[in-house]
Structure 1
Amino acid sequence: MSFSYADFASALKAGARISAEDVLAVRRWAWPDGAISDAEAEAVFEINRLAREAEPEWTDFFVEAMTEYVVNARPPTGYVDEALAAWLIDQVERDGAPVTAIELALVVRIVEKTLNAPAALKSWALRQIEESVARDGRVGEDEAALLRRLIFAAGGEGALIVGADEAETLWRLKESCRNADNASGWKTLFVQALGNHLMAYSSYAPLERAEAARLEAFVDDHRSSVLGFFARMRGANPLTEAKGLLDGQEPEPDHDATVAAANAITPQENDWLRARIDADGTLDDYEEALLAFVAGDEGR
C-alpha cells in the first residue's frame, strides 16, 4: 500500500503512535533517493510536531534526514546560511510549545555536522538549553551532554574555541544551579570550557561560504582548467595569478609564540574572571576548580 501523507497526518492528530513500520514508510516516501525536497522537509517537520508518541526509530530518522537536508541539500555542501538557519528555527518554534528534546538534538547535530553556520544558530541552541535547565532547576545529564557537543562543535565562527557568549552562559548556569544535584560531568565541563575560553588557541578557520561555493563549483566543472579558474575568479592574467600564489606569500607567524600568547591570561581576561568570582563575595568549588586548572596550565 502506498503512503498517504494526509491519512498519516490525520491518524497522528487522532493520537496514533509512530511505529517502526511507520518510520520506514515515511523514509521511503520522503527520502527514496537520498535527497529531500523543500516540501518533503516541511512535511517531515509537521509529522514531528503532530507526533505525541513515537518509537526510537523516529528520532533517528528525523535527526538524520533533517540534518542531511539542512547541511547538504544545497551548494556549497556543509554550509548553512542565514536564511536556512532562520527556516530551521521557525520550524522548531512554529507550534509555540517549548522546544522538545528531539528538536534540540537536531539543531545541535546540525551545528556539529556543518563546516560553517551562523553564530545565531548556536546562540539559539544555547538559550534553549539554558531555559531547559531553568525549568528543571539543575543541569541534567542530557543538558550537560548537549552543552559539551554544542560549545566544542567545529561549525560556526570561533570553531573549537569557547566564545564570550558561551562562557557567559556557562557561568550563569553555574550560578543558578550551584547547589543542585547536577550531572556528574557538569563541573568538569564548566572548568574545561572556561579554561578553553581563557587560554586555548586554535588556528582553524572555516572558509567563508562564498569562497567555498566558488571552490565547489570549480571542482564540479570538469571543463575547467586551473588557469582558467584563476582567470574567472580574479579577472586577471592567469599566469600572473598562478605565480602570485607561489611567490610573495606572507611569512607564517611564529606558531609557538602565538600559542604561548593565547595560553597566557591577559589583563582583560583576568578582570573578567575576577569580576565574576567577586560578584557574590564567595569562592565556590566550581571557581576553585577553575582557578586550579588555570594555575596548573600556566605553570607548565
Structure 2
Amino acid sequence: MAVGARSGHDDPEEGREQLAESPEAVTDEMSDSRGEGRGDDGSETGSGAKKPRSFWKELPLLILIALVLAFLIKAFLVQAFSIPSDSMQNTLQQGDRVLVDKLTPWFGAEPKRGEVVVFEDPGGWLEGTPTPQPNALQTVLSTIGLMPSAEDKDLIKRVIAVGGDTVECKKGGKVQVNGHALNETDYIYPGNTPCDDEPFGPITVPKGNLWVMGDHRQNSLDSRYHQELADHGTFPADKVVGRAIVVAWPVTRWSTLPVPGTFDQSGLSTAASAVSGAAAVAPGALGVAGALPLVLWRRRRLTRRRTAG
C-alpha cells in the first residue's frame, strides 16, 4: 500500500484550491444545520438574524400604558380642576387650572386651616346650578385626567376652621378662630372686608367638619350663606376631594398655593400636608413618563433574548 498516494489529484495547485475552499464549505454546512443561511443578496436570513421591532410598532403599547397610568394617577394621586367663578380671587382667577393632591387624604390626613381645598357639593350648595354637557373629546380627556370633568359638582374654597374650632366675624371686624383674629391681607380680595356683607357666629364647628370661605368675600357663597342647612354652613371633611397645591395653567400664572402665614401667627396648628414634587405634573405627562421606561425596558429585554438565541 502506498502511503500518501494521491487519487486522481496529480496537480498540487488543484489540491490547494480544494483546501482553500473547504473552510467555507464547512461554515455553510454548519449554517444550514442551524436553519440559517444567506439570501440571494448575501444578507443573513433565519431566526438568528431577526431585528427588534421598530419603535413605531411599540408605540400603541406605549400609549396604552400611558393612558392606564394617567387614569390611576387621576384616581389616586393628582387631578386637574378648572376654576369656574371669581369667588377665590385674587388667589385664583376664573379659567385657571389647578392641580389637586388626592393622595394625602388616602393616608387619613385631614384638611388644615388655611389650605385651599376642592370638595364635593355637601348638598344644597349648588342647587339650581346648571351642569354643562361635555362633548366627546372633553369626556375622553377628563376620563384620563387631562381635563376636569364638566359633570362633577365640585367647589373650591379656603379652610378657615376645622372640627372643634369656634369661628366668628362681626361687622367691621376680623374673622376670629378660637379667639385669635386672622390677618387676611395676604389673600383676601383687595377692597373686600372680612365679612361685612354677611357677619356670622360664634359657631362651633362639629368634629370632623370644616368651615370654608372664599377669598373674594363679597362674591363668594361660602359657609356663611348655608347656615340654614343641617350642618349650619359646615360640612364633613370626607367630602374633600383634595388640596389644591399649584396653579398649573395658564403658564403665566404658575404658582404654588401655600398656607398663609396668618394661620401660624394665630397660634393654631397649620402643619401642611406633605406633597410630592411629582404632583406638579399633569396626569397625562406622568403617565407618559411612567410608560416610556417600561416600553424601553421591554425592548431591551426582547433584544437580549434574540441575541442570546
- Larger of the two Rg values belongs to structure: 2
Which category describes the TM-score, using the shorter chain as reference length?
under 0.3
TM-score, structure 1 normalization = 0.21
Q: Which has the higher strand share?
A: 2
